[in-house]
Chain A
Amino acid sequence: MIIEMSKLRILGPRERLEDVLRVLQDLNLLHLSAPEAVPLTHADLTTGQERERRHLQAALDNVEQALDALGVRDAGPPAAPTTATAADLIRWARLGWRVRRETERLAAREAALDEEHALIMKYQHFFSAFRALLESESRWPNATAYHVLLRGREAGTLPQLRAGLAAAIGEEFQLFSQPLPSGELAVLIVVSALAAGRVERLLAEARVQEIPVPAAYGGKSLTAAIPRMLERLGNIPREVQEVRQRRQTLARTHGAELRRARAALHDRLKALAALPLSGVTARAFVLEGWLPAHARRDLEDGLHAHFGEDVVVSEVSKEEWESEQAPVVLANPRLLRPFETIVGLMPLPRYGSIDPTPFVAVFFPAFFGLMVGDVGYGLLLAALGLLLHARSRPGTTLRNVSEIIGPCALFTIVAGFLFGELFGDLGLRWFGLRPLLFNREEALIPFLLLAVAIGAVHVLLGLVLGVVSARRHPRQAAGRGVSAGMVVLVIVALLAAVDVLPGAFFTPAVIALLVAFPVLIVLEGLVAPIELLTTLGNILSYARIMALGVASVMMAVVANKMVGAIGSVVVGILFALLFHLVNFAIAAFSPTIHALRLHYVEFFGKFFSPGGVRYQPFGHWTRANGRTRAVPSPPTTRNPRQAA
């Protein structure tokens, strides 16, 4: 249900405005809104406050980046002081800047070390291949050495390279080669310094890849570079470890303080962002906002305790505000609350409309159960739900999903007994499980009629809810009522026509339809007949319950038949298990999608009014709210108990 909200107006002396906002932030109850229809100016930030806001935002960015870089996780609520002094804020701003700079320096150092490690590793095969060749290089102290890598297909061109060098510079060179494990060929060419230019031209023309010696390790000679590179290779892991230890030390030393700083900076920024939501005169201020009606007393008591008679709280009468403006809080019993996740996939319902959660909590598992309808799959689903429940934390989406799976599994098991199914027809073959209602494999038409009948009930319920939600607009409500009545009349006429109801019902139903038709057009306009036909189509759409149900049981039966159909019993059993697994996966997914669709399109379309504003009381920052920017974003919750 959508809980009742009250709109309050708070009046007080202007010099107490910031104190009042501080108390309101502690109380975490009032969803602030700018005062309307009051001839007041809004309390824009002063130049000093605007400067403070910019500085605090910069400090917050530093703190956030430092926390991200340090990988500090939020374990439990941050111990934010309710009153951070100016000295605290300055100290935290400096700390954030200092730690951020330090983490950036460490990150750059770690990246450089990683890059150096990768570079040396690139030369690793070269080290071993050239180690033997390097002695040859060292015997030519005044010569120039070229280190060349011939890739797979180029390796065969070594004789041509040797011939080309001989043709270009005669005997003034020596060429050594060694194959690498990668299939490439490492080649060392040592030439006299005088012939170096010609060799370089030759290599360039032949597009032979020369491996340059990294300048950081000794210039031109690999002889000098390799020992240094090997030494670095040994040192780099130790240096990386030092960097990480330094980061861990920073996280240990400053992590908790930075978390406190983040919370306090967010809080102060939220308070500054709330200031323009107040109206002021030269001597007084006005604040307006919504809160759950049952929490009004708490807010009044809280303000009275701090400000006595200086601050006056009064309720704005309902005639002065429109229900569309009020924020929305959904509050449902514990058992139904997980289904708010399903409703939450749609935009929030408007204040004053109907929260569909209780209806979803009943019909969604029922539709799911009718579609899957198998004791075995139901038990598997229950096990899956228990597993997810054990592995999830309270309040998370995963926990809600696990709690939705529970009723779905229950309805699946119940439907399994109604249809006499346990992994398809295994229940009948092994345990003599007989259907209590009908066998879905054979009774296709009864199952289709059951699905459409359930659809009629569901859609009619939606139409009735549509009448209720339009109660403040009598003409619209009457139109929806007539529409619902005509759907009932059509159903009665059809049932009478096929002798399910006594034939005497047929004529009165048709006459009533003819009378209601012009009334509907008068109330709802010319599109009303089309909407009526759409509604009848919506009822037929519930045939998908039967279609998916039959597909599910057929798949299970086919899986069971594999045991006898495939030569080896063991292979048959394996195939059957695999097929059941696939069927279970489909059964978990497809009925969910179609049950959701039946709710969102066929059911919600009759009464649901989206566009509600989420209730966001002005309070202290918590991690769940994300970052504070230009607008206030106090704790978001759709349940006042969670908000507290």
Chain B
Amino acid sequence: MSPFLITLAAALAVAIPALATAWAQSRIGPAIAASMAEKPELSTTAILLVAIPETMVILGFVVAVVILVRGG
């Protein structure tokens, strides 16, 4: 496979989950901030809720690495 396609595949593997993560966090952030204003004890939940969508981009990064290593 051409280096261009391999690089493109790796870039998409990171970019698409990154967009998805950004969208998810843009929805979660304001909601949890509003909740914490009323209930500060939700800080742990806030950490978890904000960190959970990041799994997508992290796994996307791992997939990109595998694509580059195996394809290159």
Contact B44 A544 (CB under 8 A): no
Could you say which residues of chain B place their CB within 8 Å of the CB of A540?
Answer: 59
A345 and B44 in contact, given A541-B55, A594-B51, A597-B52 (Cβ under 8 angstroms) = yes
- Chain A stretch 529-575: residues in CB contact (< 8 A) with chain B: 540-541, 543-544, 546-548, 550-551
A577 within 8 A of B: no
**CB of A445 within 8 Å of the partner chain:** yes
What separation, in Å, do the CA atoms of A445 and B61 have in the docked complex? 12
**Which residues from 20 to 44 on chain B have a C-beta closer than 8 Å to any C-beta of chain A?**
43-44
B60 to chain A: closest residue by CB: A547
A17 → chain B closest CB, angstroms = 36
Q: Are A544 and B69 in contact (CB under 8 A)?
A: no
Does B52 lie within 8 Å of A547, measured CB to CB? no
Residue A346 is within 8 A (CB to CB) of chain B in the complex: yes
A546 to B69, CA, bound (A): 15
A444 within 8 A of B: yes
Q: Which residues of B contact A548 (CB under 8 A)?
A: 58
Report yes or no: A444 in contact with B69, Cβ–Cβ below 8 A: yes
**B11 interface residue, CB < 8 Å from A?**
no
Judged by a CB distance under 8 angstroms, whether A448 is at the interface is: yes
Residue of A nearest to B61 (CB): A547
CB pair A600 B54 closer than 8 Å: no
Cα distance A548–B55 in the bound complex, in angstroms: 11
State the Cβ distance, A341 to closest chain B Cβ, in Å.
12
Is A37 part of the contact surface with B, judged by Cβ < 8 Å?
Answer: no
B1 CB within 8 Å of chain A: no
Give the shortest distance, in Å, between A405 (CB) and chain B (any CB): 18
> Is B47 a contact partner of A597 (Cβ separation < 8 A)?
yes
A87 at the interface (CB under 8 A from B): no
Given contacts A593-B50, A593-B51, A600-B48, contact A544 B58 (CB under 8 A): yes
Q: How far is the CB of A454 from chain B (nearest CB, A)?
A: 15
Give Cα distance in the complex from A547 to B66, angstroms.
12
B contact patch SS: helix
Query: A445's closest neighbor in chain B, by CB?
Result: B69
* Known contacts A544-B58, A547-B58, A548-B58; is-contact A596 B47 (Cβ 8 Å): yes
**Nearest chain A CB to B29's CB is how many angstroms away?**
13
Distance to closest chain B CB from A362 (angstroms): 20
A550 B47 Cβ-Cβ under 8 A: no
Q: Which residues of A contact B69 (CB under 8 A)?
A: 444-445
User: Are B55 and A544 in contact (CB-based, < 8 A)?
Assistant: yes
Determine the distance from Cα of A151 to Cα of B62 in the docked complex, in whole angstroms.
64
Bound together, the chains give a CA A635 to CA B44 distance in angstroms of 24
Q: Which residues of B contact A345 (CB under 8 A)?
A: 43-44, 47
Contacts of B55 in A (CB 8 A): 541, 544
Interchain nearest-CB distance for A62 vs B (Å): 29
| Assembled-state Cα–Cα distance A352/B19 (Å) | 44
With an 8 Å Cβ cutoff, the count of chain B residues facing the other chain is 16
In the assembled complex, the CB of B47 is this many whole angstroms from the nearest CB of chain A, namely 6
A390 within 8 A of B: no
Q: Does A601 contact B (CB under 8 A)?
A: yes
- Given the complex of chains A and B, what is the CA–CA distance between A543 and B17 in angstroms? 15
Q: Which residues of A contact B52 (CB under 8 A)?
A: 597, 601
Contact with B along A114-154 (1 / 0, CB 8 A): 00000000000000000000000000000000000000000
Contact in complex: A550, B65 (CB < 8 Å): yes
- With a cutoff of 8 Å between Cβ atoms, the chain B residues found around residue A601 in the complex are 48, 52
Chain B residues contacting A346 (CB-CB under 8 Å) are: 44
Residues of A within 8 Å of B66, CB to CB, are: 445, 448
Q: Say yes or no: A448 contacts B62, CB within 8 Å.
A: yes
Q: How far is the CB of A380 from chain B (nearest CB, A)?
A: 23
Nearest A residue to B44 by beta-carbon distance? A345
Question: Hey, which chain B residues are within 8 Å of A541, CB to CB?
Answer: 55
Q: In whole angstroms, what is the CA distance A46 to B52 when docked?
A: 55
A546 to B65, CA, bound (A): 11
Contacts of B44 in A (CB 8 A): 345-346, 600
The residue from A448, A543, A593 contacting B47, defined by CB atoms under 8 A apart = A593
Say how far A534's CB is from chain B's closest CB, in angstroms.
13
**Smallest CB separation, B61 vs chain A (Å):** 5
The complex places the Cα of A546 from the Cα of B50 at a distance, in Å, of 19
Interface string of A441-468 (1 = CB under 8 A from B): 0001100100000000000000000000
CA distance A283 to B50 in the complex (A): 59
Whether B43 contacts A543 by the Cβ 8 Å rule is no
Given contacts A444-B65, A444-B69, A448-B65, contact A543 B48 (CB under 8 A): no
Separation of A345 and B43 alpha carbons in the complex (Å):
8
Residue ID in chain B nearest A344 by CB atoms: B44
Nearest residue (CB) in A for B49 is A597
CB–CB B54/A594 < 8 A: yes
B43: A residues at CB distance < 8 A = 345
A544–B69 alpha-carbon span in the complex (Å): 18
Please measure, in the bound complex, the distance between the C-alpha atom of A547 and the C-alpha atom of B55, giving whole angstroms. 10
Interface residues of B (CB under 8 A from A): 43-44, 47-48, 50-52, 54-55, 58-59, 61-62, 65-66, 69
**Beyond A345-B47, A543-B59, 10 extra complex contacts between A and B, CB < 8 Å:** A445-B65, A445-B69, A448-B62, A544-B58, A547-B61, A548-B58, A593-B47, A594-B51, A600-B44, A601-B52
Shortest beta-carbon contacts, A-B, top 5: A597-B51, A345-B44, A547-B58, A544-B58, A547-B61
Contacts A/B (CB < 8 Å), 28 sampled: A345-B43, A345-B44, A345-B47, A346-B44, A444-B69, A445-B65, A445-B66, A445-B69, A448-B66, A543-B59, A544-B54, A544-B55, A547-B61, A547-B62, A548-B58, A550-B61, A550-B65, A551-B61, A593-B47, A593-B50, A594-B51, A596-B51, A597-B47, A597-B48, A600-B44, A600-B47, A600-B48, A601-B48
